[in-house]
Structure 1
Amino acid sequence: MRNYKWLKILLTYGLAAACVAFFFFIYMGGSTKEKDDVASAEQLKAAFSDKPAAQQLSSAYRQVAENDRLILKLKEDTLAIQVTNKQSGYVWSSDIASPETNETWLNFIHSGLSIDYFDKENNNAIRTDLSSQKNKTIDVTPIEQGFQASIRFHDLRIGLDLTVKLEGDQVVVNIPQKSILEGDQFKLGSIIVYPFLGATKGGDINGYMFIPDGSGALIKFADNKGKYKTPYDAKIYGDNKGIDIERIAVIPEDGFLEAYRAQFPVFGLVHGEKQHAVLGMVEKGKYNARILSYPNGVSTPYNWSTAQFIVRESYLQPTSRTMGGIVVFEKTRNQEDMQTRYSFLEGEDASYIGMARTYRGRLIAQGALGAKPAAAGEANIPLHLDVLGAETEGGLFANTILPMTTANQLSSMLDQLSAEGVSRTSVVFKGWSKGGLSGTNPSPVDLEPVLGSASDFAKLQEQIDKTGGKLYYYSDFTTAYDTSKRFQPRSEAATKIDKKLLSMSTDKPVYPSKYYMSANYALKVAEENASDYKASGIEALAVDVTPYELFSERVEGAVSSRSKSAATYHALFDKLKPQLSSMAMYRPNDYMLPYADQLFGVPMESSQYTYTSETVPFEQIVLKGYKNYYAEPINFMANPQKKLLKMIETASYPSYYLTSESPFRLRLTNSSDVYASEFASWKANIVSTYKMLNEALGPVQYATIEDRSLLAKGIVQVTYSNGKAIVVNYNDQAYDGKDVSVPALGFKVIEVKG
């Protein structure tokens, strides 16, 4: 008995110790795989000195490179640069001679490079720069068409290399990951390079900044008299749900709205429309970078725009199950090089339109859009229909499958549209798999029986193919439910940096929460599905969420960055694409464009931040003629008449979200927010709207957008590569111009002279 008691005591203490160890592992970062990025003792000794730096660096600009387009000059002591465009003689400077601001901002402005770093003592980011740091060394070495600068902040034991070189009419700025050195006490948080390149004061220059918000937006150079307090600060590709606190974007004076993502890693400044412009394209490190654009009055009198490269981030690490925690920073760095390519534009190219054309050319060179625009084909424009098949209805004792549109009902809908002259239809069938739309993902590749037999689906696909359309099966390789038989949250959900599972509320009654799948598990699901698609007669997919949601996660105890998640998604779609005749995507980020034959839900607006002066169709200019893209569903638009005109202006094809049955039946489902979707109620609208848009966009269907101009207030002209233009009148009165007359709230297709 005595031995038994001692055994009980030992077991009790052993269990307690195990619990403490488990708590430490889960909440305090006990993984041995995630280690600090500390340079070796030999590297640190060779790179850094404890004595103040003694070298004298030149404060005068000297020429370091020249080609037939540009001249590059450098000021060694701050690494400030000047770029002269030889075509016009215009000089772009990264520095301002006598800034009107306080000392902190003055040092930031003068410095070609600034960093945020973490101190292990407090975990809060601290900013410094080349001007503020006295104990530093900068060794400049000439390279072909540029220079390399080895930078050492001796007191911080942080070092890195910066290379700047000319490539045609572009300047490429690069920081190699392998050049970064760190000691034990201070850790690199982020890097900003040449933030004031092209900066202007107030409204001294007639121009604007371009930001990649939604379809695109402009911030006009002006003396804002202090009315704006916040800048445009957007993480490229949206918030990182693996580390960021889930939030709703606050848009000043417009309440609480969900802001659009920055789906393209670009920014720019225009000094005089069609005079001089610079476009920045973030090429490396873009998965962990932000676009910053500060209008006049936000901290300084200047308008400036740049990219901020995130090397590691801070986050709240829970220390209890009651949401207590401490702020810590990531131990390991994002293992990416950092690179921005600046393109200097002159004359007709010096505008947001020229920026879009330039970026389009870059995507073409990278193989993301195809070598040339699509060849002429069908005379009529395409139509996109999202159609809800089956959904799950909540019940008192059990859930039931609710058929909203069967395969035969959808076939009848398409026959009715075809009889009215609407036949080139791409259909995305939602809720087609067993169990319906919600609560089943990742669902098996099995057709839902209540929607029809395999033969019914095959006939439906043949019907759509004959009319030049395509039947897409709705898919999502990111969202998952714990009610799915193919998903176990503990092993297959993504784990956030703070070691919590990546889950969120749906705010819906039947399935109140959902998870995000680990990128590796999503790849496994896609690989398993690939062969099943062919067996089920599925030839095309329309993929939601995965093309635009990107997050970092913990994999086997170590942090896997967003760049690794993107690489995994590339592997996922590389696996699927050869098995399919076509793939469509909802709101894809730029790195997903090679896989998307058609794009759904493309925004026509920006987030309408109060400091923006105009929404512009940057994304549409990039895509038009190379990819078919569609607006968000018309039957969910608040002001359809004005939105239809916007669709004509942006060359966005029409889209609807439909059901055969009344949407009232969805009130007890996770699709309760689907309303006004019954086909019978929308048929006449679909026909009339399609015919109007076909009249406008049919003549320019295979052309690219080459120009856009404001003829008068509310009058927009969009010019195409085939010599045609569309003039849109947003006003309630008719427009009678020199060369064209356009009815109120109408449009006119014209031939462009010359």
Structure 2
Amino acid sequence: MLQVNKKVINKIISASLITVLSAGVAVNGSYLNTNRDTRKAPERSKSAMSVSSAFEKIYESDKVAYYYREDRDIFAIEDKATGYVWKTGLDVPFKKQVEDAKDAVNGEGHYTVERLAEKWKMTKVQVREIANTPIEESMNEQYTGIANSLISIECFKGSGESMTTTTYASASYDDKDGDSSLEEVSGSNGKQWKLNAVFDKAEIGVEVMITLGDDGSINYNIPYDGISGKGIKKLSSISITPFLGASGGVQTVYNEKEKDWTDLQKKYLTPGYVFVPDGSGSLIRFAENTSKFSDYTGDVYGSDLSSYMYYYSALDDSVPLEDPVMPVFGVSQGDGTQSAFVAYADSGDEFMTIIATPSSTDKNKIRYTYAYPKFSYNTEFYQVTNQAGDAYRKTQDKANEFDIDMTYDFLYGDGSNGEPAADYTGMAKAYREHLIEEGILTVKEDEEGDIPMRIDFLMSDSKKGVFGTQEVAVTTTDDVKKILDKLIGDGITNINSGLMGWQKNGETLAKPSDWKFSKDIGKKGKFKDLMKEFSEKGIDISFSRDFVSINSKMINYYGNAAKHLNTQYLTVDKSKVLPENSPVTDFSFALPTKSANWLTSLYERISDYNNSITVKGISNTLLSSHSSTGPTTTVTQAINLYEKAFEKIKKNGATVNMDSPNQYLWKYTDRYLQSPVGTSQYVYETDSVPFLQMVLNGTMEVYAPYSNFSFYSQADMLKMIDYNISPSFVLTQKPSYLLASTTSCDYYSTEFDQYEDLINTIYTTVNDVLSKVKGCEWIGRKVLDDGVIANEYTSNDGEKTVIINYTDEEVTINGESVPAQSAAVIEGGVN
């Protein structure tokens, strides 16, 4: 009988039956969406932005026109075909500015209209326009400056336990916090500009190089050597256009009768959403939220634990949050029929955080939904001073040195003209095309036929023994051969596998580059024969290894383990998630230099067995290391070390399987393992979408999480079809309870005899559909009705559409019936 975690099974809830006829789709029954689903596209939007006389046109192409407003530090981008306007900031006046203008118009106060026009360097008409402008509710002068500014900086203030941060905007009232000027770069014919931002209070100057694209894109480049001033040591971060695409807001309108700003007026709530790369991809729809939410904060490539406040941490049994594996986000207004932008970093991404703030009616929150990138130059941490653990708060001695390269691509229309659509699918297409142009992704020819399946094997681990530790072998080389032969006999032939725990002492205690096999699993000759035999059958079997996670029983930390900013070894306590008698509960992380060396060293040995390797740890863990006596390795240097290691093994023709790899390693990835199929499920995340899978489609094989662990219901199988990912399992020959006292105890259900039927069921269900679009290009995804998805594919043979029916009732698409809880392929597209 299957051992499963019932709490994690996807629940599908159906309500009373109704009949819906729309867009050629007949649906009998209702489907209750959750944030694990994708909802229907938003309604059409009207552009809430216009280009006033305060803006000056600075460049235009056949497609777009660019304008700039100097006093508010704002670009306006107008699509010439549709007239749709985007602005890099809210383009709202400061409260004090409105009050002064109103007083001047009414003949009150200290200024006349003429005097204010001179002071603000604008016309008298523009002063009167400001006087008649509502005041932004819940925004003080500082936030108004941030909402308008092209860039803002955050700096540390004070020291020790009283340390705080202060934000300065490049456009502020009376230039109190920051001031900026824009100048054209000589000979650029209006396409390149330089913004000089001066933050006097912070004693920092920032130069921003801006390139305006003929295609409607803006690129911001902030070189590190363009940041100046003695305040740079206190620079915490730089943010770019935080309110570009913001939606929501409440204003206070002037009441002529009462002669005061007393009337509240809601601003137009744009139909649309923010896209963030949480898990597979998440949408945060624009809405008026009555609850107070924390921001979505996505540290690109995960947090650098070496730069945390503390050098130690502990794991608990809560579900971990998903870290962004790519430096991209976007905003869509009106979905594919309207306008959107996708923003991505080509430099500085290892120091990038994506922040999305949901709107809230809470009086202490800004009543907008907005998203932006923040780049970290410095962080605070506790410096340990003695063996007793006494410490004090401080910041880095030296700022992180890196260049920012950030591009915003603006998208218009529904994609019918061949251009990326103005929705998350178009964002994925635009970003994919960019990565292909940069050589990060390469489209691979994929022959027709069955889809692949991933079958990993856990062979051994260690537990405590009477004297020292004792190895627990649960799968031998003979077992692997028997299981694979059984699956081939069942008709599954497109298989690839990874062997975990193949070294002496098992998965947890074997040194990463050790080349000693356990006699309980199989000798060297057994492994060589196994790989050779199945290679001839077209099945790739690779050795799997985590090159980052280490422990003191595995290896001496001296010269091998990474250190925190305070020069203490990083420590992770896993005692709450491991059995009490586990052989080890405290873990650390290898130096990036060691991880890279272990990877190349191990590959040199295994290449005689099979020219394939499965890599864990390096693929999705990025951290720096610091030493008071030796060299420091930054995260940038760590990326370079890993890239060089993979370049070396790829030159020898290696097939590289990676566990959830970060974007900087996609160039070297042949198989993407453990692809996320959902999000962190923050309450304000309204939709889950396969953004990651659409970006990667056709460039590498992509696999679902292990189906052993509650990812096997009918809805889960449909999700694999919907997200175009292949199934995967991790198996053992012996019962998994034998691993209960090892650190592999979380592999709680792996015995092959329990899973053979399920493997066949899942593979057949998914393969029957996806094999028909194998080798096709995934060009679009539509929600036809709640719970009914249409994925559009194209090839030289024409267009095909995969219909996924998550509902409990049959649906009819283009005259073809798709039963409840099933998927089917139909020829042509769906309107």
Deviates more, 1:499-508 or 1:593-602: 499-508
Aligned with residue 418 of structure 1, among 488, 495, 508: 488
Question: Which secondary structure state, in structure 2, belongs to the residue aligned with residue 599 of structure 1?
Answer: strand
State the Cα distance separating 1:258 from its structure 2 match. 1.1
- Conserved? CA contact 2:74–2:91, under 8 Å: no
State the Cα distance separating 1:728 from its structure 2 match. 1.2
Superposed CA offset, 1:440-496 (max 9, x none): 132412333322232322222123223322111102221122223xx3202211001
Residue type matched to 1:142 in 2? E
State the Cα distance separating 1:186 from its structure 2 match. 6.0
Deviates more, 1:80-89 or 1:658-667: 80-89
- Conserved? CA contact 2:233–2:397, under 8 Å: no
State the Cα distance separating 1:546 from its structure 2 match. 0.9
Aligned equivalents of 1:671 and 1:328: distance in 2?
38
State the Cα distance separating 1:657 from its structure 2 match. 0.9
State the Cα distance separating 1:738 from its structure 2 match. 4.6
State the Cα distance separating 1:576 from its structure 2 match. 2.5
TM-score normalised by the chain length of structure 1:
0.87
Match of 2:800 in 1: 724
Aligned with residue 294 of structure 2, among 230, 235, 251: 230
Aligned with residue 134 of structure 1, among 162, 167, 176: 176
State the Cα distance separating 1:416 from its structure 2 match. 0.8
Deviates more, 1:461-470 or 1:589-598: 461-470
Aligned equivalents of 1:539 and 1:737: distance in 2?
46
Aligned equivalents of 1:401 and 1:664: distance in 2?
14
Match of 1:272 in 2: 334
Match of 1:220 in 2: 285
Aligned equivalents of 2:712 and 2:739: distance in 1?
24
Whether 2:463 is the aligned partner of 1:397: answer no
Aligned equivalents of 2:744 and 2:507: distance in 1?
9
Match of 1:461 in 2: 531
- Conserved? CA contact 2:592–2:624, under 8 Å: no
Change over 3 Å in CA distance of 1:229–1:753 after alignment to 2: closer
Aligned with residue 548 of structure 2, among 469, 478, 482: 478
Query: How many residues get paired?
Result: 687
Aligned equivalents of 1:415 and 1:528: distance in 2?
31
Question: Which secondary structure state, in structure 2, belongs to the residue aligned with residue 300 of structure 1?
Answer: coil
TM-score normalised by the chain length of structure 2:
0.79
Match of 1:665 in 2: 738
Whether 2:586 is the aligned partner of 1:522: answer no
Aligned equivalents of 2:370 and 2:79: distance in 1?
20
Aligned with residue 435 of structure 1, among 502, 505, 514: 505
Whether 2:753 is the aligned partner of 1:680: answer yes
- Conserved? CA contact 1:506–1:513, under 8 Å: yes
Aligned with residue 594 of structure 1, among 651, 667, 674: 667
State the Cα distance separating 1:561 from its structure 2 match. 2.5
Aligned equivalents of 2:803 and 2:239: distance in 1?
42
Aligned equivalents of 1:185 and 1:714: distance in 2?
52
Match of 2:447 in 1: 376
Match of 2:205 in 1: 159
Question: Which secondary structure state, in structure 1, belongs to the residue aligned with residue 305 of structure 2?
Answer: coil
State the Cα distance separating 1:406 from its structure 2 match. 0.8
Whether 2:324 is the aligned partner of 1:284: answer no
Change over 3 Å in CA distance of 1:213–1:472 after alignment to 2: same
State the Cα distance separating 1:638 from its structure 2 match. 5.5
Match of 1:749 in 2: 825
Higher relative contact order at CA 8 Å, sep ≥6: structure 1 or structure 2?
Answer: 2
Aligned with residue 693 of structure 2, among 598, 620, 625: 620
Aligned equivalents of 1:503 and 1:618: distance in 2?
34
Superposed CA offset, 1:645-671 (max 9, x none): 111111110100100111111112111
Aligned with residue 709 of structure 1, among 759, 763, 782: 782
State the Cα distance separating 1:680 from its structure 2 match. 1.0
- Conserved? CA contact 1:209–1:221, under 8 Å: yes
Change over 3 Å in CA distance of 1:687–1:665 after alignment to 2: same
Change over 3 Å in CA distance of 1:257–1:574 after alignment to 2: same
- Conserved? CA contact 1:389–1:403, under 8 Å: yes
Aligned with residue 146 of structure 2, among 108, 128, 131: 108
- Conserved? CA contact 1:249–1:258, under 8 Å: no
Aligned with residue 205 of structure 1, among 261, 270, 281: 270
Deviates more, 1:554-563 or 1:293-302: 554-563
Question: Which secondary structure state, in structure 2, belongs to the residue aligned with residue 635 of structure 1?
Answer: coil
Aligned equivalents of 2:794 and 2:405: distance in 1?
32
Which residues in structure 2 correspond to 1:77-96 (within 5 Å)? 77-96=71-90
Residue type matched to 1:457 in 2? F
Aligned equivalents of 1:228 and 1:339: distance in 2?
33
Residue type matched to 2:54 in 1? A
Aligned equivalents of 2:69 and 2:302: distance in 1?
35
Which residues in structure 2 correspond to 1:15-414 (within 5 Å)? 60-98=54-92, 99-103=136-140, 104-119=142-157, 121=159, 123-130=163-170, 131=172, 133-134=175-176, 136-143=178-185, 144=188, 145-169=191-215, 170-183=217-230, 187-201=234-248, 204-224=269-289, 226-244=290-308, 245=310, 256-274=318-336, 275-297=338-360, 299-348=365-414, 349-370=421-442, 372-377=443-448, 379-414=449-484
Change over 3 Å in CA distance of 1:117–1:611 after alignment to 2: same
Question: Which secondary structure state, in structure 1, belongs to the residue aligned with residue 597 of structure 2?
Answer: helix
Whether 2:722 is the aligned partner of 1:649: answer yes
Aligned equivalents of 2:313 and 2:71: distance in 1?
41
- Structure 2's unaligned 5+ residue stretches are 1-51, 93-135, 250-267, 415-420
Match of 2:133 in 1: none
Residue type matched to 1:326 in 2? Y
Superposed CA offset, 1:333-376 (max 9, x none): 11111121000001121000000000100110111221x34232
- Conserved? CA contact 1:552–1:560, under 8 Å: yes
Residue type matched to 2:86 in 1? W
Aligned equivalents of 1:184 and 1:272: distance in 2?
42
- Conserved? CA contact 1:431–1:437, under 8 Å: yes
State the Cα distance separating 1:142 from its structure 2 match. 0.3
Aligned equivalents of 1:527 and 1:672: distance in 2?
29
Aligned equivalents of 2:630 and 2:156: distance in 1?
22
Deviates more, 1:93-102 or 1:678-687: 93-102
Aligned equivalents of 2:331 and 2:71: distance in 1?
26
Aligned equivalents of 1:655 and 1:351: distance in 2?
30
Question: Which secondary structure state, in structure 1, belongs to the residue aligned with residue 607 of structure 2?
Answer: helix
Match of 1:9 in 2: none
State the Cα distance separating 1:185 from its structure 2 match. 8.7
Residue type matched to 1:216 in 2? G
Aligned equivalents of 1:439 and 1:153: distance in 2?
53
State the Cα distance separating 1:318 from its structure 2 match. 2.4
Aligned with residue 506 of structure 1, among 570, 574, 594: 574
Residue type matched to 2:648 in 1? K
Aligned equivalents of 1:626 and 1:443: distance in 2?
30
Change over 3 Å in CA distance of 1:414–1:550 after alignment to 2: same
Residue type matched to 2:754 in 1? S
Superposed CA offset, 1:65-115 (max 9, x none): 222332222222342111112232211112224433321322211222211
Aligned equivalents of 2:404 and 2:603: distance in 1?
35
Question: Which secondary structure state, in structure 2, belongs to the residue aligned with residue 195 of structure 1?
Answer: coil
Match of 1:446 in 2: 516
Question: Which secondary structure state, in structure 2, belongs to the residue aligned with residue 95 of structure 1?
Answer: coil
Change over 3 Å in CA distance of 1:415–1:355 after alignment to 2: same
Aligned equivalents of 2:177 and 2:533: distance in 1?
74
Aligned equivalents of 1:149 and 1:175: distance in 2?
10
Aligned equivalents of 1:579 and 1:594: distance in 2?
15
Change over 3 Å in CA distance of 1:153–1:581 after alignment to 2: closer
